[in-house]
Amino acid sequence: MNDLAYLRDLVIILGLAVVIVTVFHRFKLPSIAGFILAGTLVGPQGLGLVDDIHQVEILAEVGVALLLFGIGLELSLEKLRRLWKLILMGGFLQVSLSILVVFAISKLYGLPSNTAIFIGFFVALSSTAIVLRGLQQRGEVDAPHGRLTLGILVFQDFSVVPMMLAIPLLSDLDSSTQDLLGTVLRSVAIVVGVLCAARLIVPRVLHLIAKTRQRHLFILSVFLICIGVAWLITSSGASLAIGAFLAGLVVAGSEYRHQALADLISFREVFSSLFFVSVGMLLAPKVIIENIIPILILIAAIMVGKSAIVFITAIIIRMPLRVCLLAAVALAQVGEFSLVLSYAAQGTGLIQESLESNLLSAAIISMFLTPMVMSCGPYLAAGVGRLRVLTGLLEVFTAEDAVHRIRTMHDHVIIGGYGFAGLELAQALQECGIPYVIADLNVENVRKAARNGVHAYFGDITSYEVLERLGASRAKELTLVINDPGAAERAVKVARSLAPSLYIVVRTYYLLDIEQLLAAGADEVISAEREAAAEVTSRLLIRHQVEPRKIADQVSRIRSRHEEESI
């Protein structure tokens, strides 16, 4: 009977979630918010359709593990190494400033020092699961603000370990600084040991499994690696999420990362959805109604305060204004691991029950609001970008001779983005004697370009002032090869308003973006997805010795069909 009751609960949860998320999709609202609302309605504090949330929480933990494992797969250790400055500088500044500011405010309200520090821990963390899911859905993980956001989130997740270990000290339980230091060192040793062993063993195991050519066996092995490595690292005191994330990084270092990610996606979506439902089930509508004023004040203080701290952090590490704003909006909420800290502090006397209840309600509502707030981020950045008083933050930083060179350019090409595509395009233009100028938001890319004699400058290509300084009104073409679809659309609109006759070419990854970019004013949109299909078809037909004319016809068919679908 218990099993049947569990299945009944699962049917109710999934059924209501499907209905609500469908309605949310109809009104173009984020699906994550729909899952949280579904959890609130079915939970014991809502309509009471599901009384026992323990089984759901177990599945939700699996969902968090798979979600972070997938993020690790997509990143790889090499990509993470490129983010180390953002992780150490951005993450450390954000967490430290959050704790200090909350501590100071809490002391002003007469709270004890240990309680003030704990609330600082609680507020400092953001929701890795919700924010990364939002960035993934918008294709912005590799965008400049996505990299900054990810760097801060990684540092936050690592911070959970010392925060958890500090709770006994803060609550005056039997513990000492020496014990805490010993536990931290032991935890670090376990994490490093597991990662080193996994780096040696996992690729070999996956190679042996792949040789069997049994897909189900490969899927089981990936699950085992994800949960197994996460469990081992969790035993050191680290969070399950960071354990799964590190497990994903280990697999990402092997040649089987793409197959592992492809096999994981369906399971990840189902289980991670249950995590968002479980978050909603913790919300108590009755408590919110009874304490609506203090909870609303807490929500406003948390979201505005955290946004301000992230914004200041990004400014300190010299990020452009658009990146500062988008990262600030993305990290405005309290995270799921704050709920874990709250659970660990129960019974220690660290925080009053009424204050804890209000904090939990504010935290969950802030998580619910996050997808909608993130959707408003690009519009906020665009609006602020129009304020002339902030022009200084948006300028292209160049030497005087470089500024003079741009002013004398005519019929040149403006390239937005200096990744692989931007680099190759710049080299081709240089060899053909065509004048060009590049704007990029990655300082390291700009410095590397300057060392190589490439005309690349630091600046936000979505800014009216930056495009004006780059001579958009005198340019012949604008080519956008950036990884942020929202920024590309904004850049097209701004460029079109500044220079109506400018020819604009945009590179995008997905076919779904083509229609939106053309509507924004782009003359030509090149989809990496479409070009890959054309190239694969061409190469395969060449191997089969098909006539060049027929190959050209097939490639033309692929391109024209997708062009027709996007119109």
Q: What is the 3-state secondary structure (H, E, C) of 174-197?
A: CCCHHHHHHHHHHHHHHHHHHHHH
Look up the CATH superfamily of 393-522.
Answer: NAD(P)-binding Rossmann-like Domain (3.40.50.720)
Q: Hey, what's the torsion of the CAs at 115, 116, 120, 123, to 10 degrees?
A: 70
User: What sign results for the dihedral spanned by CA atoms 457, 463, 469, 475?
Assistant: positive
CA dist list (Å): 38 to 20, 162, 264, 370, 442: 7, 34, 25, 16, 40
Is the pLDDT assigned to residue 330 strictly greater than 90? yes
Q: How far is CA 523 from the centre of its chain?
A: 30
Closest among 484, 476, 470 to 417, alpha carbons compared? 484
Closest residue by Cα to residue 256 from 219, 230, 228 = 219
% pLDDT > 90, the chain: 16
The percentage of the chain sitting over the pLDDT mark of 70, rounded to a whole number, equals 84
Please, what CATH class does the domain formed by 2-385 belong to? Answer: mainly alpha
Indicate if the pLDDT at residue 544 is higher than 50: yes
The whole-number pLDDT of residue 103 equals: 94
**Of the candidates 2, 16, 23, which has an alpha carbon nearest to the alpha carbon of residue 49?**
16
In degrees and rounded to multiples of 5, residue 456 shows phi and psi of -115, 140
> Taking the C-alpha atoms of 312, 314, 315 and 318 in order, what is their torsion angle to the nearest 10 degrees?
160
Asked if 177 and 169 touch (Cβ cutoff 8 Å), the reply is yes
pLDDT at 442: 75
Q: Looking at the predicted structure, is the pLDDT value of residue 478 above 70?
A: yes
Tokens representing 37 are 């609302």
Look at the block and give the residue holding tokens 């009751």: 5
pLDDT tens for 407-445 read 778 889 999 988 888 888 888 888 898 999 988 877 777
Under 8 Å between Cβ of 460 and 470: no
Nearest to 505 by CA among 558, 436, 552: 436
CA dihedral angle for residue 322, residue 323, residue 329, residue 331, rounded to 10 degrees: -170
Mean pLDDT of 384-408: 53
477: three-class secondary structure by DSSP: strand
Residue 100, Cβ density class (10 Å: 0-12 exposed, 13-18 middle, ≥19 buried): middle
- Residue pair 566/518 in contact (Cβ under 8 Å)? The answer is yes
Q: 395 falls in which pLDDT band (50, 70, 90)?
A: very low
For the segment 204-209, the average pLDDT, to the nearest whole number, is 83
Helix extents (H) in 51-110: 54-82, 84-85, 92-108
pLDDT at 100 over 90: yes
Phi–psi pair at 111, nearest 5 degrees: -80, 150
Edge-first strand order for the sheet with 477-480 is 456-458, 436-440, 413-416, 477-480, 503-508, 524-527
**Average model confidence (pLDDT) across the chain:** 80
- Render 310-359 in DSSP notation, one character per residue: HHHHHHHTT--HHHHHHHHHHT-SPPHHHHHHHHHHTTTTSS-HHHHHHH
DSSP class of residue 397?
B
Whole-number Å distance between alpha carbons of 341 and 153: 16
Instruction: Report pTM.
Output: 0.67
Average pLDDT (350-366) is 86
- In 3D space, the residue among 27, 98, 140, 20 whose CA is nearest the CA of residue 372 turns out to be 27
> Greater confidence, 566 or 521?
521
Integer Cα distance of 257 and 164 in angstroms: 32
> In the predicted model, is pLDDT for residue 54 greater than 80?
no
pLDDT in tens, 168-185: 778 765 555 566 566 667
Strand, helix or coil for residue 198: helix
* Domain boundaries defined on the chain: 2-385, 393-522
Q: What is the mean pLDDT of residues 521-546?
A: 87
Non-local CB neighbours of 15 within 8 Å, separated by 6+ positions: none
Instruction: Classify residue 442 by its DSSP letter.
Output: -
